[in-house]
Chain A
Amino acid sequence: MISDTNIRDYLAQLEDIPGTRVFTAARARQGYHLNQFAMSLMKSENRERWKADERAYLEDWQLSEEQKAAVLARDYNTLLDLGGNIYFLSKIFSTDGLSFVQAVSTMTGVSVEEYQAMMNAGGRSPDGLRSKREGR
């Protein structure tokens, strides 16, 4: 080992980044069924069933009511809070025909056009967004 990493300090740091939900074990456990549901949309027959009746499809999965509502609303920030991981959630927005830029922009509070303009101008600066605690 290169350093004696203390797991409590390590995990606390991961929560110190503004506007970011790191996919920790706690989130992975909370979102297990949510992510597995999203994963099921990898199969075309499941996508067809999902598109035909989203609410009925969700009944087959052990999701909380909060998770179900956020899935139906495509509220990706809330889905991250409820244990979703973006690579799994991408199966939902891919099924909707959305690109990563289109779906990701919905989490940032600006329109997709404004988001794309920001990316074309070099992306979002990390200045002021590195640490909540240190405000840098």
Chain B
Amino acid sequence: MARITAGIASSHVPLLGVAHDQGKDRDDYFGPIFAGYDWTREWEKSEKPDVIILVYNDHASAFDMKVIPTFAIGCGDHYKPADEGWGPRQVPDVFGHADLAWHIAQSLILDEFDMTIINEMDVDHGLTVPLTMMFGAVDAWPCKVVPLAVNVVTYPPPSGNRCWSLGEAIARAVASFPEDLNVQVWGTGGMSHQLQGPRAGLINRQWDNLFLDGLIGESDHLRRIPHIEYLRETGSEGIEMVMWLIMRGALGKRTLALHRHYHVPCSNTAIGHLVLRPDNGQELDMTISGASVAALTE
């Protein structure tokens, strides 16, 4: 049986991909950002996930204004890095897990989530930057990826509550997949940032950290945050954080933080990163023994 063993939240700022690809990831500006992912890279080597369900948003790369799916799941076998205007990133192609993806897609639709199914697309920095942050420079990504794209560009995006519920439905779908698979769910985007207008550059360290706090433990109060609060408090692009709630919803009733990282700035954005262990009846180790010290403090 497939089981969800961890959840990861991470920003997906495109500049991180550029910094990594140009070998600037340990310089004075980017060093402190990438250092916050060192723990996770080591941890992933022992976790060895088979599949990542990677929740992200497309940034006018695979989707344009012709079709705007609210929730779309990649059911293909193979995705290439997108050309976002300066040529595709020189990172490995992404391989899907079509059996699991189609199983999840069918299960979600029967569970009343009306998913869009994608057979072919290119994947942009929203998907490839988190892979780089968690796995570094590799010849091939060490696991398969099921892309789950969310519209957070054209209003209204899905509510936080709907995202959380989708995560719960993904957990049910994974639990009913017969093959023995180690599955992680990643929620990407955020944290506070605004890329437009005279208010651009907004950062709200306090709100971001309360949001990180809220992903840990038993509370589900984050699912009730309305869109307008994300916009007012964290900038127009901070709305991407609703995607983290899909990850959190998939982890069940309670979570334990294994690692936590927060840094300002990266380009226009606050970087947030959290590694969570779910207490979801899968008998996972819920003691603090595996956690990094950083998980306990901001």
A residues engaging B (CB < 8 A)?
1-3, 10, 13-14, 17-25, 28, 32, 35-36, 38-39, 41-44, 47, 76-77, 80, 85-88, 90-91, 94-95, 99-101, 104-105, 107-109, 115, 118-120, 122-126, 129-131
CB <8 Å contact, B198 and A14: no
CB contacts (< 8 Å) of B59 on chain A: these are 87, 90
CB pair A129 B154 closer than 8 Å? no
User: What is the distance, in angstroms, from B59's C-beta to the closest C-beta of chain A?
Assistant: 4
Q: In the bound complex, what is the Cα–Cα distance between A46 and B274 (angstroms)?
A: 40
Q: Verify A41–B85 contact, CB threshold 8 A.
A: yes
Are A104 and B264 within 8 A (Cβ)? no
Instruction: Give B198's nearest chain A residue, CB to CB.
Output: A19
Chain A min CB distance to B177 (Å): 29
Q: A100 vs B66: C-alpha distance in the bound complex, in angstroms?
A: 24
Closest chain B CB from A64 CB (angstroms): 16
CB of A99 within 8 A of CB of B85, answer no
15 contacts between A and B (CB under 8 A): A19-B199, A20-B197, A22-B231, A35-B64, A85-B154, A86-B195, A88-B65, A100-B267, A108-B197, A109-B198, A119-B267, A119-B268, A123-B265, A126-B207, A126-B232
Beta-carbon contact of B197 and A123 below 8 Å: no
Contacts of B223 in A (CB 8 A): 2
Which chain B residues numbered 157 to 210 have a C-beta less than 8 Å away from chain A?
A: 159, 161, 192, 194-205, 207
Report yes or no: B84 in contact with A42, Cβ–Cβ below 8 A: yes
B85 CB contacts on chain A under 8 angstroms: 41-42, 47, 90-91, 94-95
Interface 0/1 of B264-277, CB less than 8 Å to A? 11011010000000
Determine if B236 is an interface residue (Cβ-Cβ < 8 Å).
yes
Given the known inter-chain contacts A87-B60, A104-B268, A122-B264, please indicate yes or no for A13 contacting B14, CB distance below 8 A: no
For A21, give the chain B residue with the smallest CB separation.
Answer: B197
How far does the Cβ of A38 sit from chain B's closest Cβ, in whole Å? 8
Contact B84 A20 (CB under 8 A): no
Chain A residues with CB below 8 A from B84, complex form: 42, 91, 94
Number of A-B pairs whose CB atoms are under 8 Å? Answer: 157
B56: shortest Cβ distance to chain A, in Å?
13
What is the bound-complex CA distance between A22 and B203, given in angstroms?
17
Q: Interface size on B (CB < 8 Å)?
A: 51
List CB contacts (< 8 Å) of B232-283 with chain A.
232-237, 264-265, 267-268, 270
CA distance A44 to B86 in the complex (A): 8
Contacts of A14 in B (CB 8 A): 155, 227-228, 231
Contact of A119 among B199, B235, B265 (CB under 8 A): B265
Q: Given A17-B231, A100-B267, A124–B199 Cβ distance below 8 Å?
A: yes
CB within 8 A of B232: which of A17, A32, A104, A105?
A: A17
Tell me the bound Cα distance from A100 to B273 in angstroms. Answer: 21
Residue B115 at the A interface, CB < 8 A? no
Q: A20-B194, A35-B65, A100-B14 are in contact. Are A2 and B265 (CB under 8 A)?
A: no
**Is B106 an interface position by the 8 A CB rule?**
no
Q: B residues within 8 A CB of A38?
A: 60
Question: Which 4 A-B residue pairs are closest in the complex by CB-CB distance?
Answer: A123-B203, A19-B199, A94-B85, A19-B198
Interface residues of B in 41-63 (CB under 8 A from A): 59-61
> Is there contact, CB below 8 Å, between A126 and B202?
yes
B155 x A39 contact (CB < 8 A): no
How many Å from the CB of A85 to the closest CB on chain B? 6
CB <8 Å contact, A99 and B203: no
Shortest beta-carbon distance, B161 to chain A, in Å?
Answer: 5
B153 within 8 A of A: yes
Does B156 make an interface contact (CB < 8 A)? Answer: yes
Does B24 count as interface, using CB distance less than 8 angstroms? no
On whether the beta carbons of B231 and A91 are closer than 8 Å, the reply is no
